[in-house]
A and B are shown apart, each in its own frame.
Chain A
Amino acid sequence: MASRKEGAGSTAASSSSTAGAVGKGKGKGGSGDSAVKQVQIDGLVVLKIIKHYQEEGQGTEVVQGVLLGLVVEDRLEITNCFPFPQHTEDDADFDEVQYQMEMMRSLRHVNIDHLHVGWYQSTYYGSFVTRALLDSQFSYQHAIEESVVLIYDPIKTAQGSLSLKAYRLTPKLMEVCKEKDFSPEALKKANITFEHMFEEVPIVIKNSHLINVLMWELEQKSAVADKQELLSLASSNHLGKNLQLLMDRVDEMSQDIVKYNTYMRNTSKQQQQKHQYQQRRQQENMQRQSRGEPPLPEEDLSKLFKPPQAPARMDSLLIAGQINTYCQNIKEFTAQNLGKLFMAQALQEYNS
């Protein structure tokens, strides 16, 4: 299995390199603001990430690591990477920063790019839009403007197509995160929706010419069977999993909305009370005036009516983002399968 995966990864890499670019980016307008318009990844990095997951990641556990490279013109070239060590309970005092510095220093000694340009993370059925990712990417991007996060989907990769995507936070979201104000008003003002949270940066996988030649040669020599499983439907398990995860998110979303709803109700109720109070006070003052007494002193209304705590909207944004990814995943998956079904039908008719 492992070898197959490895093989799949490498062929994908080689094919992409021969093809030139496999930009999966939707090319959303956001990327224009940033200097980096393209991410160029070395084959080495891709293989290292795949290997890392292969060795340490399993199930829902994710693996993470640091990307090294440099910015050239409008390209971010990622030339190397190294993994974060897996956390265990007994080394709680492990200093991560120290470890990274050590690692980079050592790499520098062997003349490897040592500039920190982002990080990578594996994902489980595309569930990566989380608060943790947002926070760490924010801190990365805050420190290093051009840093990106590479999301590697091992499950999709195992099915035959390398799934590697580079994301970064949009400038808008960066602003919001900087403010640390996730109240409904602030988000409204920032005019941010789940679609504008992350922007995808197109990826190019580049290999040296020597490797390309080698790959070419290998391809010629290798006796890979011609038998192509073109029409095999990917396992429905995948779809089921995706649906299940999607359902969980929808549940969360529902809860979030209910929470927000209660908040709204509370606010409006309080508004009403406030209004009534003001009116009563006004009336009283009028009466007093008519009686010739001094009006009652103005009281601080905000003290009397403390506005209820607004629920943070960031979570719901994230959930929406996650739902979006799931939907796209499912769409992609079903689209492929449907295509295959139609093809199979056509073949059937042709044969009979």
Chain B
Amino acid sequence: MSRFFTTGSDSESESSLSGEELVTKPVGGNYGKQPLLLSEDEEDTKRVVRSAKDKRFEELTNLIRTIRNAMKIRDVTKCLEEFELLGKAYGKAKSIVDKEGVPRFYIRILADLEDYLNELWEDKEGKKKMNKNNAKALSTLRQKIRKYNRDFESHITNYKQNPEQSADEDAEKNEEDSEGSSDEDEDEDGVSAAAFLKKKSEVPSGDSRKFSKKMEDEDEDSEDSEDDEEWDTGSTSSDSDSEEEEGKQTVLASKFLKKAPTTEEDKKAAEKKREDKAKKKHDRKIKRLDEEEEDNEGGEWERVRGGAPLVKKPKMFAKGTEITHAVVIKKLNEILQARGKKGTDRAIQIELLQLLVQIASENTLGEGVIVKIKFNIVASLYDYNPNLATYMKPEMWQMCLDSINELMDILVAHPNIYVGENILEESENLHNFDQPLRVRGCILTLVERMDEEFTKIMQNTDPHSQEYVEHLKDEAQVCAIIERVQRYLEEKGTTDEICRIYLRRILHTYYKFDYKAHQRQLTPPEGASKSEQDQAENEGEDSAVLMERLCKYIYAKDRTDRIRTCAILCHIYHHALHSRWYQARDLMLMSHLQDNIQHADPPVQILYNRTMVQLGICAFRQGLTKDAHNALLDIQSSGRAKELLGQGLLLRSLQERNQEQEKVERRRQVPFHLHINLELLECVYLVSAMLLEIPYMAAHESDARRRMISKQFHHQLRVGERQPLLGPPESMREHVVAASKAMKMGDWKTCHSFIINEKMNGKVWDLFPEADKVRTMLVRKIQEESLRTYLFTYSSVYDSISMETLSDMFELDLPTVHSIISKMIINEELMASLDQPTQTVVMHRTEPTAQQNLALQLAEKLGSLVENNERVFDHKQGTYGGYFRDQKDGYRKNEGYMRRGGYRQQQSQTAY
């Protein structure tokens, strides 16, 4: 934003100046065109009662005043805001305007604003120094006002031809401004009045030159009105407006004002300036000469300077300066001091740092310095985004990866360099090669931050795009870096650091299914016959072994609870993923994480949920439906699986949380490639619930007190029942519901065909690593549970049933049927006995009918009712004597117990 460097046109005059260069910017004509704020409308505002017109107009004038102020301080963003408000206010005032005609002051501000913007637009130097927001606002505003002013064209031209002026006001303003400006000048640069005057006199010549140019380029300008290139019209900096401005303004005033210098100063530049003024001046002279040459060559010179701050290269060190450590470090500190300050262009900072590295390496200043600068480069790369939520741009990310890689190269190549965050700036040793080099900085932190950035990038990329795949390819790089750092730290780091880097490694390993190890497991002995290439491929460490090693280290050495918790969870997850159910389960039970996980922070809880889910799915693959159901129950019953697993936000709670919370939650999301398929999860849960619930329901059909095993499953069933028309199942849920219905009738074949078919294969089962194994397990489970259900449901219609028939019906072998039935008999689920010689099940008619059941329950309830009633009676009896009540209670209890016993006997009698 500083106008420290002057525009090309001014440079000749400037170069002759011996003192500080002062920016003589055509800030501009706007002061001269100050509106007549003290028009009649303005005066009216003092009245209490205002007409609608006055009110509207006051609103407008107020806005206009703000715009003018913003213009004065060159705050284009503010201008843009206010201009939009102004447009709205004008819209409101439309009815009045229609009556009264467009107010003059409104036209005036439009014209002035346009002039002002064009002026700014021309001012390439100034624009370049403008911060991003302002520059953006400038181009938007410029386009907007052009469009807007089209409607008022006639008015504006009218106005421009015949501008109203309030001379005294203008003069007043001018005075003020000039005073202010000269003050500032003196404050900042100590320019003498003489210099000031001198400049004043110089300016007109520059100006006039400009204007003449403008005239020539007028046509050109009007043609490319739409362009938003940075250099726009380049040196052909003209607009018809400025011309008119010349006409309508008193020349003197405009000239006077044009000298108003900017109030803002580039701090960086100022600092530098103070430090090596002389050097720089010399420098700049040369530069300026170059520029002038360029200028003479043609209008296109601006393009060269475009975005590349390389121009600043010579500024780094004066020619011939001896590059020493001290100088470089000083420079580095200079650059770093600007860090975090407002108005510092972070991109330029990175460039500068990189230049510095180059210089350092060119001058062979030793690795210490380079390492130090590189640390800072990476740090400023991280700093580049001011906002925590936004993620790195791909180039930046690549740069970051490269830098870290280079840094690692150096660190690995030079084992005598010690890095550490605990090394103080003062105790750094960057150039004394006799002693080990000591550099402040922590490679581990950088890598952790890099990993976080990677996660952020993944979170913010659309997971279904090619882009995501591209980004995902970087994961290998990230892993490689982590591995390098791990190796490095294993030699040099403390246990804490090793734990941290191990955790990073674990976090990048635990969710990946190790296909190679899996393959090897499947074909263990034939490994010898495999080709060389396969051998080489297989050489990598089994991820299981790796996890084991890393986790064990952490278990042993870690002192922060969090890392250990994460490591355990990842370890369990990894076990579960590779179907090592018992190890996973034992680890989970031994860790006692279930008891205190609710005290952990949300990311760890998400990890815990993921682990539990994976554990459940693992149990399911092993055919342990009950364990699978229990593991998944918590996640599924809440109905918020998506949220609990950090795989997306629920729309429902959108209104409950504010933006801030939402941001936090968004940051917690797990990147897509770590997601657990929710449909798979739900299907696993529902199928295990079905396998448990359907036989249970059949067994306890008439029991009024039976409890539901899975609420969600019942919910799905009910939804299915409510459907007025039942078509063939479409979704996974419908399939499960249809299968449950079939199973209720003991029809295992239909059930099987609903659970395992093309659709379900595609949706769910093929997602398992060993899909076929899972499917065979499922079929078997369905057969068994259907048999049980069948026996529960239809035992009452059989006197006896041959086991062979059953085995035929359910395509199970005889021993299995035998064992299932025996189990049911032992558990007293089925009142029957096995007749060994004939291989039949003989039913005992013991189950009471529905009515009998009800009657039994009623009797029980009545029993308790009577008991309660008697208690009331006791109270009536013993209202006065409270102290022996307890005794009485005991007595009554006994009695009640005995009576109940009596009931029992009766019940059993009626039952038969």
Contacts and interface: CB of A to CB of B under 8 A. Distances in A.
B854 A272 contact: no
A268 B857 CA distance: 33
Interface of A is mostly: helix
Nearest to A254: B865
A257 B879 contact: no
A247 B872 contact: no
14 contacts: A240-B850, A240-B851, A240-B854, A244-B704, A244-B854, A247-B857, A247-B858, A250-B865, A254-B864, A254-B868, A264-B872, A268-B875, A268-B879, A268-B882
Given A261-B872, A261-B875, A265-B875, A250 B854 contact: no
B854 A243 contact: yes
B865 A253 contact: yes
A260 B704 CA distance: 26
A264 B874 CA distance: 10
Nearest to A258: B868
Contact of A261 (B704, B850, B871, B879): B871
B869 interface: yes
B849 to A, nearest CB: 8
A251 B861 contact: yes
Given A264-B875, A265-B875, A257 B865 contact: yes
Contacts of A261: 868, 871-872, 875
Interface in B547-580: none
Given A258-B868, A261-B871, 14 more contacts: A243-B855, A243-B858, A247-B854, A250-B862, A257-B865, A257-B868, A257-B869, A261-B868, A261-B872, A264-B872, A264-B876, A268-B875, A268-B879, A272-B882
Interface of A: 236, 239-240, 243-244, 246-247, 250-251, 253-254, 257-258, 260-261, 264-265, 268-269, 271-272
The 10 closest A-B pairs by CB, nearest first: A243-B854, A257-B868, A264-B875, A250-B861, A254-B865, A272-B882, A247-B858, A261-B871, A268-B879, A261-B872
A200 to B, nearest CB: 26
Interface string B748-767: 00000000000000000000
Contact of A246 (B704, B858, B869, B871): B858
Contacts of A236: 850-851
Contacts of A268: 875, 879, 882
A331 to B, nearest CB: 14
Contacts of B879: 268, 271
Contacts of A250: 858, 861-862, 865
Contacts of A271: 879
Contacts of A239: 851
* Most chain A beta-carbon neighbours within 10 Å: one of B704, B868, B871, B876: B868
A160 to B, nearest CB: 21
* Most chain A beta-carbon neighbours within 10 Å: one of B850, B855, B865: B865
A247 B861 contact: yes
A247 B850 CA distance: 14
B347 to A, nearest CB: 61
Contacts of B872: 257, 260-261, 264
* Most chain A beta-carbon neighbours within 10 Å: one of B851, B854, B869, B879: B854
A243 B851 contact: yes
A285 B432 CA distance: 97
A269 B885 CA distance: 11
A112 to B, nearest CB: 40
Contacts of B850: 236, 240
B847 to A, nearest CB: 15
Nearest to A250: B861
A59 to B, nearest CB: 14
Contacts of B851: 236, 239-240, 243
B515 to A, nearest CB: 57
A260 B851 CA distance: 31
A254 B861 contact: yes
B495 to A, nearest CB: 61
B315 to A, nearest CB: 76
B851 to A, nearest CB: 6
Contacts of A253: 865
Nearest to A253: B865
A272 B851 CA distance: 48
